[in-house]
């Protein structure tokens, strides 16, 4: 996160929100954070890598919440593979 925020490195450190999003949406499924991080770095286009970390944290914190995701107001609901989503 420091590399990304302070030094502008196009990295995606996987915290609890990003781990959940990677698995729920299907963009980067994995049983541990290293697998999710590797998949995100492989799939996120270079031009969006610098912002992706921040955007995913905010999405996980305010929309795709751990206990009660707000799928009804989610901008990526049509792309998300989460089977339990309520749209």
> Is residue 64 within the footprint of ligand SF4 (CB under 6 A)?
yes
23 binds ligand SF4 (CB under 6 A): no
Nearest by Cα to 49 from 3, 16, 82: 3
Q: 51 or 72: whose CB is closer to ligand SF4?
A: 72
Is residue 80 part of the contact set for ligand SF4 (CB under 6 A)?
Answer: yes
Inter-residue contact 41 to 57 (CB < 8 Å): no
Which residues bind to ligand SF4, rule: CB under 6 A? 24-25, 63-64, 69-71, 74, 76-77, 80, 82, 85
């Amino acid at each position: 996160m420091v590399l990304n925020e302070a030094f502008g490195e196009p990295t995606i450190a996987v915290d609890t929100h990003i781990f959940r999003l990677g698995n729920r949406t299907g963009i980067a499924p994995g049983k541990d954070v290293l697998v999710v991080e590797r998949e995100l770095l492989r799939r996120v286009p270079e031009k969006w890598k610098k912002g992706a970390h921040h955007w995913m944290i905010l999405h996980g914190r305010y929309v795709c919440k751990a206990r009660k995701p707000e799928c009804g107001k989610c901008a990526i609901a049509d792309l998300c593979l989460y089977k339990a989503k309520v749209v």
